[in-house]
A and B are shown apart, each in its own frame.
Chain A
């Protein structure tokens, strides 16, 4: 019973935090893109535009929700939740912090420490394809269908590199649980002074995973499915108001989750190097760990935004070539090299 109440509170806090971060990530995107393009971005609604997400949310709520007559109603309505739900669920296993002392007990700052940790993430990444493909098909519109098919082809091609690049990390950690992977990075150090983060022991895997995460989130340079110039907004062309907002939120939620997972798997998650003694259980240490996780995730979210407004879009054949002929062999090579080094070091 205790466990149920604790989990329920954690779920509510996690969802609230995630949805707020998604809303402010939209604002951050507009501000970052503005400064990159040498202009100011939204600054009318509240200081520095900080109430803009509130204004956007109200706009989406009050906008007229049009369902065109030529769509397949059931699947049209079902597609946006079908992509939002996996994007939000993936955050449940991310360890935001170590433990935090509340009311005398140490509470894990992680909603669910499932023993199939990383496989759960891969499963949700695979499920994310459905919403897009069904949204594109249900819209009964050539551009939407093409966008949906391209998106799913891209996503299933890059899922392979996503999974294979993780195998090197799993070989080093010996466990699928995200909590164990972070603990292993936290408790050792390389060469005496560097923290044992997986970015130092698995740099190729980090690169492959980050690029595959960009492709999975349909972000530039891989955003051909929703390219404004070619496909008239692609698979969400026929959607308006709240359903469009759900597609939008799902894309940003998968960005947040991807950043959180990269920070967890490769950058030590909540680990604060050199500053905290292992075994320190005070409130200050716990809050500092959560803060360090937030900083790392924030950096990767900024990387997502930065790359979008810097690089041009890939062509479809370039996307396929990169995924199958470059990243897949490199991921397999990474597994082989990791195994070789681990065997020789024994």
Chain B
């Protein structure tokens, strides 16, 4: 039963990712990305990482992609004339390079058998997933947690500084 779900989520993720890079209309691409995120959240549930699955949907699919869609809709992007100028004349070279990197990564994964039967880990991680993560974040991983919040704070303040108009220079 679990392997059936695994294959469904995997198929949805791969197909959505392929559609993401092949659609011409950027709104369709954004929606394919949302579908990919849902499939990944399903994978997280299969791996017993329930908190991560919920946060993936709340943060990625629910907030970040909405902002992506905002920008795409408000700036009316996606005309093919604009794409030619941006992508440049080396885009075929870039495609070949990136495909080579992908093949190399797949080969490495299969060769080293990454992701096959992880060690059991702490049983508390699976039974009370969220209190366990909370405790870890505030004890063993306190420094990365604080650094991550500082990065977000810097981003927030930076956006305010960039957007706020200087009152002396405002035209009346």
Task: Say whether B54 faces chain A, with CB atoms less than 8 Å apart.
Answer: yes
Chain A residues with CB below 8 A from B61, complex form: 126-127
Q: In this assembly, does B55 line the interface, its C-beta being within 8 Å of a C-beta of chain A?
A: yes
Q: Does A99 contact B (CB under 8 A)?
A: no
Please judge, given known A-B contacts A115-B129, A137-B73, whether A127 and B50 are in contact too, CB under 8 Å: no
**Given known A-B contacts A115-B130, A137-B27, A176-B130, A156 and B63 have beta carbons under 8 A apart:** yes
**Chain B residue contacts of A115, Cβ below 8 A:** 50, 128-130
Shortest CB-to-CB span from B103 to chain A, Å, is 33
Per the bound structure, the CA–CA distance linking A125 and B74 in Å amounts to 23
Asked whether A119 is an interface residue with its Cβ less than 8 Å from the other chain, the reply is: yes
Q: Quick check: is A122 within 8 A (CB to CB) of the other chain?
A: yes
Q: Is the interface of B mostly helix, strand, loop or mixed?
A: helix
Residue B40 is within 8 A (CB to CB) of chain A in the complex: no
In the bound complex, residues from chain B placing their C-beta under 8 Å from that of A74 are: 28
Residue A152 at the B interface, CB < 8 A? yes
A203 → B minimal CB distance (Å): 26
Provide the bound-state CA to CA distance between A286 and B42, in Å: 35
Q: How far is it, in angstroms, between the C-alpha of A127 and the C-alpha of B34 when the chains are bound?
A: 10
**Interface residues as binary, A69-81 with B (CB distance below 8 Å gives 1, 0 otherwise):** 0001011000000
Known: A115-B50, A116-B130, A137-B27. A123 touches B69 (CB 8 A): no
Measured in the bound complex, the distance between the Cα atoms of B75 and A137 in whole Å is 12
Q: Main SS of chain A's interface residues?
A: helix
Question: For chain B, which range describes its interface: under 10, 10 to 19, 20 to 34, or 35 or more residues?
Answer: 20 to 34
Residue numbers in B under 8 Å from A114 (CB-CB): 50
29 sample A-B contacts, Cβ–Cβ < 8 Å, listed by A number: A75-B27, A116-B129, A119-B51, A119-B54, A119-B55, A123-B62, A125-B62, A126-B57, A126-B58, A126-B62, A126-B66, A127-B57, A127-B61, A130-B34, A130-B69, A133-B66, A133-B69, A133-B70, A134-B27, A134-B31, A134-B69, A137-B69, A137-B73, A149-B74, A152-B66, A152-B70, A156-B63, A156-B67, A176-B130
Apart from A115-B128, A123-B54, A156-B63: 12 A-B pairs, beta carbons within 8 A: A72-B27, A115-B130, A116-B129, A123-B62, A127-B61, A129-B66, A130-B69, A149-B70, A149-B73, A152-B66, A152-B70, A159-B63
